[in-house]
Amino acid sequence: MGSKDAVTQQEKENSKSRRNYASFSFDDGKTWTVPTRTGFPDACSKSNAGKLPDGQVYVINNVIPMNPGGLGGRSMLAISLSKDGLKFDRVAIIRFIPPPLRYRGLEKTIGYQYPHSVVVDNDLWVMYSVNKEDVEVTRIPLDELYELK
């Protein structure tokens, strides 16, 4: 996602810096710039990105970095919006404060994770896991996203 002349790729690193990296291609993905650390917060979890029908770029992710006390992390799922795919200047909460875990398990974490999205007609549909136990779907009318200031 990015400007008309470039393709942008969002990346993360294994050291859990809690920031995303971006690299750019100016030849339709044949070559890429060296990844550069961005100021885009992340809880070191999967994210999803796309383009709305009006051309705005969005990223859906967990925007609260995990801290040593275990707070934050995947407790909030949000959507960030950008007019140019580079400067994300609007954020809206999709879900916040998940229900308690029902079952214990290896690598189980409380929160919203693994988002995916699709635009259908006049809505953005967001699917995600809740506590790695359930899958939920949230419908966001596109008009609500377009009105974000």
Residue pLDDT, tens place only, 118-141: 999 999 999 999 999 999 999 999
Position 2 scores a pLDDT of 47
pLDDT, tens digit, for every residue of 82-110?
998 888 999 999 999 899 999 998 888 88
pTM above 0.95, yes or no: no
Position 39 scores a pLDDT of 78
Position 12 scores a pLDDT of 61
Range list of β-strands (E), 12-111: 19-25, 36-41, 48-51, 57-61, 76-82, 88-96
